[in-house]
């Protein structure tokens, strides 16, 4: 698949995911969006694909000679975004999933 199309798809899906999270009624198990691993995974891929979108389009249309400045810069920028993505993914891994009692006690009984 063309990498630009893939990036557009991922960005669109991420936006749809966030939109759904905002519009769905808040349930008791998940109070804040950032307390779910899914949020960090989606944010990681959104930032990665948004950041590298133009870079991928550029590299597809131009042959980057190994060792050239463009090649180094391409790898540098890509590397920075891969790093950000991986940091966010590790945050996702360390985020505890839905916690039953994440809601203040006074709201627990109300369902």
Enumerate binding residues for other proteins (CB under 8 A): 11, 15, 18, 21-22, 26, 31-34, 43, 46-47, 50-55, 58, 65, 68-70, 72-74, 76-77, 107, 110
Q: Which is nearer to other proteins, 25 or 96 (CB)?
A: 25
Least CB distance from residue 99 to other proteins, whole Å?
A: 15
Least CB distance from residue 45 to other proteins, whole Å?
A: 10
Coil, strand or helix: which one is 10? helix
* Cα separations in angstroms, 57 against 1, 35, 95: 13, 34, 33
Least CB distance from residue 1 to other proteins, whole Å?
A: 20
Q: Buried b / exposed e across 46-57, counting CB within 10 Å, b at 16+?
A: bbbbebbbebbe
């Amino acid at each position: 698949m063309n990498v630009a199309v893939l990036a557009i798809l991922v960005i669109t899906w991420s936006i749809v995911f966030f939109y759904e999270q905002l519009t769905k009624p808040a349930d008791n198990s998940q109070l804040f969006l950032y307390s779910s691993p899914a949020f960090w995974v989606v944010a990681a891929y959104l930032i990665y694909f948004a950041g590298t979108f133009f870079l991928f389009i550029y590299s597809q249309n131009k042959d980057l000679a190994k060792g050239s400045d463009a090649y180094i810069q391409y790898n540098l920028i890509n590397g920075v975004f891969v790093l950000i993505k991986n940091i966010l993914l590790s945050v996702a891994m360390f985020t505890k999933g839905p916690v039953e009692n994440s809601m203040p006690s006074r709201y627990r009984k109300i369902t």
